[in-house]
C-alpha cells in the first residue's frame, strides 16, 4: 500500500518537475517563452514568475529525492528479510544445497579377488 502510494507521488512529482523546469525562462528564452513567457511577466511582474517557478522547482526536487530514497529503502527491505530468512534456514540445517560433502576414502583401489588386489 505504501509503496504504491509512493510510486504514484513519485511519478506525479517527476512529471510536474519536468513541466516546471520547461516553463522556466532561461537566458535565451527557452521553452518558457514558447508557452507564454511574456504573459507570465504581465501577470506576475518581471521577476514574480521566476521566483514562483524557482520555488516550485526546489520543492519538487526535494520531494522527488525523498520519494526516490524512500522507494529504494523499501525495495531493499525485502532483500534484507530474504537474506535473514536464508541465514536462519542455514543455521537450522535446511539450506545445505550448496555445501560440499567430503567423499569417504576407499579401503583399496582394486576389489577383492581381482588380480593384484593382494599386492602380487
Q: Is residue 60 part of a domain?
A: yes
CB 38 within 8 A of CB 29: no
Q: Is residue 104 part of a domain?
A: no
Q: Is residue 58 part of a domain?
A: yes
Q: Is residue 73 part of a domain?
A: yes
Cα gap 36→45, rounded to integer Å: 14
Confidence band (pLDDT; 50, 70, 90) for 14? Answer: very high
This prediction has a pTM of 0.53
Q: Is residue 37 part of a domain?
A: yes
Q: Name which residue leads in pLDDT, 61 or 25.
A: 61
Q: Which domain holds residue 49?
A: 2-92
Confidence band (pLDDT; 50, 70, 90) for 82? Answer: confident
**pLDDT mean across residues, the chain:** 75
Q: Is residue 98 part of a domain?
A: no
Q: Is residue 100 part of a domain?
A: no
CA-atom Rg of the chain in angstroms: 34
Q: Is residue 120 part of a domain?
A: no
Q: Which of 68, 58, 65 is nearest to 21 (CA)?
A: 58
Q: Which of 67, 62, 65, 57 is nearest to 5 (CA)?
A: 67
Examine the pLDDT at 61 and tell me if it is beyond 70.
yes
Domain count within the chain: 1
Amino acid at each position: 500500500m505504501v509503496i504504491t502510494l509512493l510510486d504514484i507521488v513519485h511519478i506525479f512529482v517527476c512529471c510536474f518537475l519536468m513541466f516546471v523546469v520547461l516553463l522556466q525562462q532561461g537566458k535565451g528564452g527557452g521553452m518558457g517563452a514558447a508557452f507564454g513567457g511574456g504573459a507570465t511577466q504581465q501577470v506576475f511582474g518581471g521577476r514574480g514568475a521566476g521566483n514562483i517557478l524557482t520555488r516550485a522547482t526546489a520543492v519538487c526536487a526535494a520531494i522527488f529525492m525523498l520519494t526516490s530514497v524512500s522507494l529504494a529503502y523499501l525495495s531493499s527491505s525485502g532483500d534484507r528479510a530474504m537474506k535473514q530468512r536464508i541465514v536462519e534456514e542455514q543455521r537450522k540445517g535446511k539450506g545445505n544445497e550448496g555445501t560440499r560433502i567430503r567423499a569417504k576414502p576407499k579401503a583399496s583401489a582394486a576389489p577383492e579377488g581381482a588380480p593384484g588386489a593382494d599386492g602380487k
